[in-house]
Every structure is written in C-alpha cells, then in structure tokens.
Structure 1
C-alpha cells in the first residue's frame, strides 16, 4: 500500500471535500480522484461515494480511517525519531581502565565536546560482544578477541614497562618480585594473554602476590612500595607529572632475554563490520597516536 495514497484518503475524510483536499495536498482534483480509485482497489473496499457534486465517506471508509490515521501518526513519529537521531551527536565508547581513566579526558575535550557521550567499562571479549549487540559504537583495546561481526583496526603501539616506588626492589631477582596483577582473567585471546595488563604469563611466569580489580589500586600498592606492576609508560608519565616526587614510580629493568616481548602492546580500535570507518574513528585514532602511542 502506498502511504501517499493513504495520506490522501485521510485528508479527504478530514475535509469531507475533494476539492479542498486537493488544494491541501497540492494536486489536481482529477489526479486525486484517480488516486482514490487505485487506493480502493488496494484495500478492497469502497471508501468514498460520489453524491451529486459532493462525496460521502462510507461506513467501511470511516472504520478504515480510524486505523489509517493511527498508522500515519506512527509513521510520522518514526520519521521524527530518525530526525532526532540524525541531529543529536552521540558516541558510545567501550574500553577498560587504561584508556577510560587516562585517555578519555583529552579525547573528549579535544574532539567530542559537542557530543553526548557514553563510556562503558568493558573487558576484552565483553567489549566485542557489546559492539556486536549495538550497546556501544567503538571500542579501544590492546587485547583483541576475534569475533565474526567485528573488525580490529590497528592504530599503533604503546610502550609497556615494569614499575614500582622509588628505591624499592633494587637488588631483587625477577622471580621474587611481588607483582600486583588484574584479578579479572581474559578469555579467547589468540596471543594466549591471560591478564588484562597484557603480561605474557605463559612464556614468562611471575610471582603474583596481589590481585586487584582496578589499575589505580595496583598503582597505590606500587606507591606504597609493596608491589611492582606492568603498566603502560604513558600512564606512569602522566601519573608522575601530577604527584609529588615522593610517590612517583620508577621503571624496573625487565629480564634481558625476555624484554622484547614485554615492551610493546599493539593498540586497536574495534568496530562493527557493518559500520563505516568514519570521522569519529579517525579522530580517536589520531588522539591515541598523540597521547598514548610512542
């Protein structure tokens, strides 16, 4: 059924005058009459009767109008919703603490000040699921989990390092260093990474003395000289800029034979395969390269 003819019919019912309806619809009376004949064939009922020079709406036509009017209103409401969505600038980003705490401020302030923003704390795997189910628009990660509906776009690399408080653990062997590690495991990584910090536990086991949910908790244990943590260098640099030197963190040398596999993490923007690589993605990639990737 053509919605234009449905709208013509409703206008005729409302005006009860063919000529007046044609004026409102900006079409000629003969064209409107022809459209109504096609409309009656489509719906299979007689909706208008010609009486002299005027018209009357049949009982069937009146009943049909009640439903047709509601349908047209729903169609108009849908169009308005679409217009609101188009006009409203909205972005929904999913990531974990590395990026949601220390990167999101510069990102939103420079590129998305006039947007409505949602920030979802999600671990790898859950992030891909949230994208696939349309809960978020874009994800940021350095532990990509394969998903049939998701693309992982490589942005660059962030430098990683081992950190603790000043003058702590200077002469302790690696096997005895008290690590603080993420308590939430990562599942499904093709690189066999087990923890959210990205440490290669399979090839380089470590002494996991503390397990925490938040990276900030791990950094506090480091500040107190109780633990060492595997952290992105850009985060530690920002941390050290904002606090007194007494609580700044210093880098501890990694085991020489294994240092290469622990130094870098590739960063990815993740999106739905059905979504274009749009301006928002390009701006996030630019911001990541500027603030996080070295």
Structure 2
C-alpha cells in the first residue's frame, strides 16, 4: 500500500480510504491480511484482470487524437456548372477534403440531399422539397451561340441546333429542355441530340450547329480557343426569356459552414465572370 501510494502521489491514508470505498461499492473484499502485508482475496484475483483492462481502455480513450483523415464533399449539379466551377476549386482552400462531383437532373439533386446522399446541390431549376434549404447565388444568361462565320443570313428557325438527348421532368419553372430552352415559345431545328455537353460543344466548334448555353460557359470556351475558333452570339428575340438564376442547395439540418461559404463564393465567381466579356461577345455577333 505504501509503494502504491507513492506511485499515485497520494498519502497512505488516502489510498486506504479509496480502497475501502471501492470494496463497499463492489460489495466484496478485495484484500486480506497476509503476514506483514496484504494479499488479494479470491474476489480480488477475479477482478484484478478486469481492472487492468479497464485502466488500459481508459488510457487509450484519453490518448485519442483528432482524426486527420480527409473529409469529403459530395456535390450534385447539372453539367453546365460542372464544366466551369471545377476551375474555381483550385482557388478554394479545402485542406484534405476530397470531392465527389455528380451530373444530375434537377429534382434528383434535391431528393438526394433529402436522403443525405449529397452535401450540396447546384441548379438553375430548384424543386422545393421539405428538408432542402435553397440559397440564391446570382443571375446568368442563356444565349444562342455558333461558330464565327457560320449561318449568316439564316433566321432562328433555319439554324440547326444541338440539343440534350434527355429532357427534364416537370419543374416549377416549366422548363422541359435540359439546356433551358423554352420550346413552346420558339421551336428549334433539332439536328443533333447528344447526352454529353462536351460532344455538343465540339459539334458547335466544327460549325455544324448552334448551341444554347450559359454565357459564362461560352466565355470559358472562347478563352481556350484562338480568334479563328470563337463562339459568337446569335441575338434572340426579346420575347425569349433567357435570364436564369443559380442556386446552392443543402439540407436544412446542415449549417452554413465555412465550407458552404467557400463553395458559394466559387460558384458566384464562375457565373459573374461573364460580365467582363459580354461586350466582346455582342460585338462579335451579327
């Protein structure tokens, strides 16, 4: 008992009192007199290995360090945003965060957020659902583009278009086409139907067709190509509503964290980047 008290940096009497309390709580005697000292009773021998394991686990518990494993962010969005926002991620400090980026239709994005299969969603046609928090990011414009020097003198009904192969299900904005075109106002000459935006862009750059897409996407494409391979705007009639709003979605239980704010800022910068190029695009159109 004397040696044990020294190891614990307490007095002999304090240790004796603690042992007395422990034996009372366990309702059994742990120690018995043995010569000039003490020995374990049968109950003491049975409890001893259990006590050692308990103390071992207690020590491990207090040595637990904060996990340094990478966290993850799961984002669902339509392809037009995927093509451009990823460029902004290199400026966003997310530490060891890993990212999952999924191309999804509006409606599916919201449902996966409700089911906690996504952390965030980015869309232009939000489906209001219980459990989904919708934050407005900003406006952008959908415009008709074609390769410079093609389709001169043709009206909108004569120009061949590349369009998404799949449409959208019913949504609050009444948009049926996946690229945002309102077919009920201006039917298009749909020459190509594709399921990849990259394919649609390549057909447009070859001069085969026109495309309807956000101005910030067209600006990104033009920044990657030379002056002889630029997309120019085909002015649509004013009756054609082409202004859209980008939204950032999250579960209502998910707080507006620094992660959320960084993502918001990256998307905001993406869709507003077009403002500095809008004048050049109008000058290049006919």
> What is the alpha-carbon distance in structure 2 between the residues aligned to residue 101 and residue 143 of structure 1?
18
> What is the alpha-carbon distance in structure 2 between the residues aligned to residue 138 and residue 127 of structure 1?
8
Shift of 1:168: 2.0
Aligned residue number for residue 286 of structure 1: 265
> What is the alpha-carbon distance in structure 1 between the residues aligned to residue 42 and residue 235 of structure 2?
88
> What is the alpha-carbon distance in structure 1 between the residues aligned to residue 87 and residue 29 of structure 2?
64
Matched, 1:228 2:210: yes
After superposition, give the CA deviation of every residue in 1:124-174 in whole Å (9 maximum; x if it has no partner).
233223333333322222221222221111010112211111122233232
Matched, 1:206 2:188: yes
Aligned residue number for residue 67 of structure 2: 84
* Distance verdict in 2 for CA 1:98–1:48, change over 3 Å: farther
Which runs of structure 2 are paired with 1:240-259 in the superposition (5 Å)? 240-258=222-240
Q: Please, which moves more after superposition, 202-211 or 213-222?
A: 202-211
> What is the alpha-carbon distance in structure 2 between the residues aligned to residue 195 and residue 23 of structure 1?
77
Shift of 1:236: 0.8
User: Would you identify which runs of 4 or more consecutive aligned residues in structure 1 move more than 6 Å?
Assistant: 62-70
> What is the alpha-carbon distance in structure 1 between the residues aligned to residue 83 and residue 23 of structure 2?
62
Equivalent in 250, 256, 260 of residue 271 of structure 1:
250
Shift of 1:51: 2.5
Aligned residue number for residue 14 of structure 1: none
Shift of 1:89: 5.2
Gaps of 5+ in 1: 1-16, 41-45
> What is the alpha-carbon distance in structure 1 between the residues aligned to residue 80 and residue 217 of structure 2?
8
Equivalent in 150, 153, 156 of residue 168 of structure 1:
150
| Structure with higher helix content | 1
Q: Give the SS at the match of 1:162.
A: strand
Equivalent in 94, 99, 104 of residue 81 of structure 2:
99
Aligned residue number for residue 102 of structure 2: 121
After superposition, give the CA deviation of every residue in 1:237-285 in whole Å (9 maximum; x if it has no partner).
1211111222211111112322xx21x2101111111111111222222
Which runs of structure 2 are paired with 1:130-169 in the superposition (5 Å)? 130-169=112-151
Give 1 or 2 for the bigger CA radius of gyration.
2
Q: Give the SS at the match of 1:84.
A: coil
> Contact (CA 8 Å) 1:142, 1:266: kept in 2 or not?
yes
TM-score w.r.t. the length of structure 2 is 0.75
* Distance verdict in 2 for CA 1:265–1:103, change over 3 Å: same
> What is the alpha-carbon distance in structure 1 between the residues aligned to residue 173 and residue 225 of structure 2?
35
> Contact (CA 8 Å) 1:48, 1:61: kept in 2 or not?
no
State the number of aligned residues.
260
Aligned residue number for residue 34 of structure 1: 21
Which runs of structure 2 are paired with 1:188-199 in the superposition (5 Å)? 188-199=170-181
> Contact (CA 8 Å) 2:72, 2:100: kept in 1 or not?
no
TM-score w.r.t. the length of structure 1 is 0.73
